[in-house]
A and B are shown apart, each in its own frame.
Chain A
């Protein structure tokens, strides 16, 4: 009896902790419920690759080495792009925001496929 009670209290406190910390993670998960760790890793690889996104040519991001400084550092992306679609649009066609930008029109010019842009967007959104 005493034992059962103890287990109950324990599990209750675990639940309380989950409930507390879960607050932030669960809203996070609700936004991006389809994004897996694996997709984020794939997106990172595409973003860093010199023959694919090569975002590091211009942006400091994450743990990327020898990054350029032509564009702004990509940090706190969820705060700045609450809507994933806006972030994707910036990568797909940056000229919508700045017609004369040096940033590559990755989608419009077919530099990356739609799927690749999705993966990169997921990754960048996680930064």
Chain B
């Protein structure tokens, strides 16, 4: 009898708490994730999470910091981005006319929910929207000039706090779509983003230490040694999808925009730290 009521109570509690998680607000999701990491790795400074997998490996972290100070390999590309920012289009207008005069105020606006179009605007989507509005050709989405320009814009916002807003229910639907994507098993190898970057963050997959998803987006576009160049967040999404033998979605597809919205919101409270080196 006693046992039975205990079971009953437990199952009622479980039902309640499941219902609770289903209805968790984005802010609650974010808090829960941050708490998960600060509990799991109690010795690691939660504000250092923008430095990715390095935070779990003291030796590599030191090397990374030295490299960032002494030989940042992305400087010429950032300089190129600055030049692009300052070069008018053929019609005499420039990026400032679309994105605002103050370059330090651009990065932190995105990803942003656009109510009129019911979509997510990203820094890269707005760079190309600006170009086409002014009669210029779109840049390719994943690397090259777009990464140079978004990289420059990102560096100008360094130190600002990530604060993605979810203003209404329709925006929340985009957030939920991104969240579902992040937790869904995918590909022939059947793994989710969360498997690698939440459950096993800090573990090694072969020789690679897995980075935590909290802080994942802070430094994008990133300079990757493997690419020998800079690349956008959506380029990385494609790579991580293909690793599990799933088909990558197109950069700036609704799937990846939703993912970026959710994934960036996850890092609210951390600092933008535009462009960093990664293996």
| Residues of A participating in the B interface, judged by any CB pair closer than 8 Å | 56-58, 66-70, 102, 104-105, 109-111
Report the nearest B residue to A95, measured CB to CB. B190
| Residues of B participating in the A interface, judged by any CB pair closer than 8 Å | 188-191, 195-196, 199-200, 203-208
CB proximity of A120 to chain B, nearest CB, Å: 16
What's the Cα separation between A105 and B244 when bound, in Å?
12
CB proximity of A108 to chain B, nearest CB, Å: 9
Are A68 and B191 in contact (CB-based, < 8 A)? no
Are B205 and A111 in contact (CB-based, < 8 A)? no
What's the Cα separation between A102 and B200 when bound, in Å?
9
Are A70 and B205 in contact (CB-based, < 8 A)? yes
Are B204 and A69 in contact (CB-based, < 8 A)? yes
Max chain A C-beta neighbours (<10 A), residue from B190, B203, B207: B190
Are B203 and A104 in contact (CB-based, < 8 A)? no
Contact of B206 among A56, A109, A111 (CB under 8 A): A56
CB proximity of B59 to chain A, nearest CB, Å: 16
Report the nearest B residue to A67, measured CB to CB. B206
* A102 touching B195 in the complex, CB below 8 Å, given contacts A57-B206, A67-B206, A70-B200: yes
Max chain A C-beta neighbours (<10 A), residue from B188, B191, B199, B205: B205
Report the nearest A residue to B188, measured CB to CB. A109
Q: Which residues of B contact A111 (CB under 8 A)?
A: 188-189
CB proximity of A99 to chain B, nearest CB, Å: 10
* A109 touching B204 in the complex, CB below 8 Å, given contacts A102-B195, A102-B196, A102-B199: no
What's the Cα separation between A79 and B193 when bound, in Å?
34
CB proximity of A53 to chain B, nearest CB, Å: 12
What's the dominant secondary structure at chain A's contact region? loop
Are A102 and B191 in contact (CB-based, < 8 A)? yes
Are A66 and B207 in contact (CB-based, < 8 A)? yes
Are A68 and B206 in contact (CB-based, < 8 A)? yes
What's the Cα separation between A67 and B207 when bound, in Å?
7
Are A68 and B204 in contact (CB-based, < 8 A)? yes
CB proximity of B204 to chain A, nearest CB, Å: 4
CB proximity of A77 to chain B, nearest CB, Å: 21
Contact of A58 among B190, B205, B207 (CB under 8 A): B205
Are B189 and A104 in contact (CB-based, < 8 A)? yes
> Given A69-B204, A70-B205, A102-B191, 20 more contacts at CB 8 Å?
A56-B206, A57-B206, A66-B206, A66-B207, A67-B204, A68-B203, A68-B207, A69-B203, A70-B200, A70-B203, A70-B204, A102-B195, A102-B196, A102-B199, A102-B200, A104-B190, A104-B191, A105-B190, A109-B188, A111-B188
What's the Cα separation between A110 and B190 when bound, in Å?
11
Q: Which residues of A contact B199 (CB under 8 A)?
A: 102
Q: Which residues of A contact B196 (CB under 8 A)?
A: 102
* Top 4 A-B pairs, shortest CB-CB distance: A102-B195, A66-B207, A68-B204, A68-B205
What's the Cα separation between A110 and B245 when bound, in Å?
12
Are A109 and B207 in contact (CB-based, < 8 A)? no
**CB<8 Å pairs between A and B, sample of 25:** A56-B206, A57-B205, A57-B206, A58-B205, A66-B207, A67-B204, A67-B206, A68-B203, A68-B204, A68-B205, A68-B206, A70-B203, A70-B204, A70-B205, A102-B191, A102-B196, A102-B199, A102-B200, A104-B189, A104-B190, A105-B190, A109-B188, A109-B189, A109-B190, A110-B188
CB proximity of A95 to chain B, nearest CB, Å: 8
CB proximity of B85 to chain A, nearest CB, Å: 42
